[in-house]
């Protein structure tokens, strides 16, 4: 018993030091756990898939390498093309991986003394986690997980077949995701939600819930600027994929409202050919095409530069987990307009920086959003420096503290 090393069990379907989004978040948690382990003379067991194990191999610093044990779970019959090109297959692959990974948990617990088990990716509340197989005495931490969505966003005009489809999907998700999230939460001891919507959905389980948007902003930020904006046409910025879920049609249509009759808008992000054409056609139909620029995919430096010179980030997404784009805007002092109940709103509220959250009701119109954009443009540019990698280390440190306190309480009862 005494010869077994104390470890943190980190469950991460995807981990990659050089990729954004979920793989990058997995890497942030891994490095934070390893730093904690090094300081407290313990180890980290990374439970992941074979591809992520290969991505991690050789990338952990020599100082921390001896702290890490990687348990790679092979996923059978997964064609490589689908692994990288078909998102729905990736979700199926995740579910297969969870079931195979769960079988490895008892052996990990026999080989090591697990302080706490923490599932970090995928960050989706409808997908299972292998840590529910952990022994009852192990603190089971699930998250950050969850996407906040508001069906009413997809009923706002102008609408299209794509927005109608998103409305149906969001209504279905509202029911399914909440039920599924509560089911998984009941088998865990602590849920870390990416946003307040997910936190509210699982609060009825009685399980402790914390909100932790998994946002990281690297690089320099702006300085606070309290002076009024320079005169001239408002410069509005939209950043992200041009996809129906993010409702770029609403952003374009804002330019046709009297409050924004002279504003100019720049879109940064990729898009499918058909949907991009649909959004461009709407701009033509509304007579605002000359004030819209579709810049396409840009490198990160260009995105930050555009943020530094824009007046408002218009973020019309109806559903997401934790918006990195809003996090970046808050770090450079760009006021944000987004919808309440979404992950974007949670990030803005957590940051406490300039912006307006629009709560969408059945009576909410595009004029209400246009008013919010005009109000945001008049705000002082305040910044936050909270979105650092240190947040992940602080979280791991606190989870270890909670786990040790739990162990001490259990031993006292015995």
- CA-based torsion, 122, 126, 127, 128: positive or negative: positive
- Taking Cα atoms as reference points, which of 331, 311, 353 lies closest to residue 222? 331
User: Longest Cα pair distance anywhere in the chain, in angstroms?
Assistant: 74
Mean pLDDT over residues 36-63, rounded?
A: 94
- Taking Cα atoms as reference points, which of 141, 145, 149 lies closest to residue 175? 149
- Taking Cα atoms as reference points, which of 36, 40, 34, 39 lies closest to residue 60? 34
pLDDT at 246 (0 to 100):
94
Question: Which has the higher per-residue pLDDT, 110 or 221?
Answer: 110
Question: Which has the higher per-residue pLDDT, 125 or 35?
Answer: 35
* E strand spans, 222-303: 235-239, 264-268, 292-296
pLDDT band at 78 (very low <50, low <70, confident <90, very high): low
Residues 186-219 have pLDDT tens digits of 999 999 999 998 999 999 999 999 999 999 997 6
Residues 136-191 have pLDDT tens digits of 899 999 999 988 889 999 999 998 888 999 999 989 888 888 899 999 999 999 99
Q: Which residues partner with 161 through β-bridges?
A: none
Residue 13 Cα distances to 50, 129, 194, angstroms: 9, 9, 17
Residues 330-342 have pLDDT tens digits of 999 999 999 999 9
pLDDT band at 91 (very low <50, low <70, confident <90, very high): confident
pLDDT at 235 (0 to 100):
97
pLDDT at 85 (0 to 100):
47
pLDDT band at 5 (very low <50, low <70, confident <90, very high): very high
The fraction of the chain above a pLDDT of 70, given in percent, is 92
pLDDT at 256 (0 to 100):
96
In the chain, where the domains are located: 6-215+388-413, 235-377
- 168-204 residues labelled b (16+ CB within 10 A) or e (exposed): ebbeebbeebbebbbebbebbbbbbbbbbbbbbbbbe
Residues 361-412 have pLDDT tens digits of 989 999 999 999 999 999 999 999 999 999 999 999 999 999 999 988 766 5
For 6-215+388-413, which CATH superfamily applies? Glycogen Phosphorylase B; (3.40.50.2000)
Q: Contact at 8 Å (CB) between 209 and 125? A: no
The second-level CATH assignment, the architecture, of 235-377 is 3-Layer(aba) Sandwich (3.40)
* Helix, strand or coil, per DSSP, at residue 126: coil
pLDDT at 288 (0 to 100):
95
Do the first three CATH levels of 6-215+388-413 and 235-377 match, i.e. the same topology?
Answer: yes
Q: How many CA atoms lie within 13 A of 214 on its CB side?
A: 25
Mean pLDDT over residues 296-305, rounded?
A: 90
pLDDT band at 345 (very low <50, low <70, confident <90, very high): very high
pLDDT at 84 (0 to 100):
46
Residues 246-290 have pLDDT tens digits of 999 999 999 999 999 999 999 999 887 788 888 999 999 999 999
Q: What is the CA radius of gyration of the chain?
A: 23
Question: Which has the higher per-residue pLDDT, 92 or 241?
Answer: 241
- 59-86 residues labelled b (16+ CB within 10 A) or e (exposed): ebeeebeebbbbbbbebeebeeeeeeee
């Amino acid at each position: 018993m005494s010869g077994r090393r104390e470890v943190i069990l980190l469950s991460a379907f995807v981990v990659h030091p050089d990729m954004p989004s979920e793989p990058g978040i997995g890497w942030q948690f891994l490095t934070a756990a390893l730093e904690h382990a090094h300081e407290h003379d313990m180890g980290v067991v990374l439970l992941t898939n074979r591809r992520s194990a290969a991505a991690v191999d050789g990338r952990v610093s020599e100082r921390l390498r001896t702290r890490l044990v990687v348990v790679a779970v092979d996923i059978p019959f997964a064609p490589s093309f689908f692994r990288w090109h078909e998102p729905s297959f990736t979700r199926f692959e995740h579910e297969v991986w969870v079931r195979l990974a769960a079988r490895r948990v008892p052996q990990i617990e026999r080989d090591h003394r697990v302080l706490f088990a923490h599932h970090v990716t995928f960050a989706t509340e409808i997908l299972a986690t292998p840590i529910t197989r952990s022994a009852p005495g192990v603190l089971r931490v699930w998250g950050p997980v969850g996407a906040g969505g508001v069906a009413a966003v997809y009923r706002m005009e102008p609408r299209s077949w794509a927005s109608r489809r998103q409305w149906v999907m969001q209504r279905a998700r509202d029911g399914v995701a909440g039920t599924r999230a509560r089911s998984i939460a009941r088998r865990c001891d602590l849920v870390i939600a990416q946003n307040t919507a997910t936190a509210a959905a699982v609060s009825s389980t009685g399980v402790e819930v914390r909100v932790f948007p998994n946002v990281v902003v690297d690089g320099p930020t702006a300085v606070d600027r309290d002076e009024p904006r320079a005169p001239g046409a408002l410069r509005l910025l939209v950043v992200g994929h041009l996809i129906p879920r993010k409702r770029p049609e609403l952003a374009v249509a804002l330019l046709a409202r009297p409050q924004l009759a002279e504003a100019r808008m720049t879109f940064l992000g990729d898009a499918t050919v058909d949907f991009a054409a649909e959004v461009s056609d709407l701009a033509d139909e509304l007579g605002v095409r000359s004030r819209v620029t579709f810049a396409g995919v840009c490198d990160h430096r260009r995105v930050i530069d555009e943020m530094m010179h824009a007046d408002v980030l218009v973020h019309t997404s109806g559903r997401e987990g934790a918006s990195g784009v809003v996090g970046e805007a808050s770090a450079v002092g760009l006021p944000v307009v987004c919808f309440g109940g979404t992950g974007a709103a949670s990030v803005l509220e957590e940051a406490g920086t300039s912006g307006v959250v629009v709560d969408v009701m059945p009576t909410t119109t595009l004029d209400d959003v246009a008013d919010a954009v005009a109000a945001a443009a008049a705000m002082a540019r305040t910044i936050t420096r909270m979105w650092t990698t240190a947040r992940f280390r602080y979280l791991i440190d606190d989870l270890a503290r909670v786990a040790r306190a739990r162990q001490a309480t259990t031993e006292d009862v015995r």
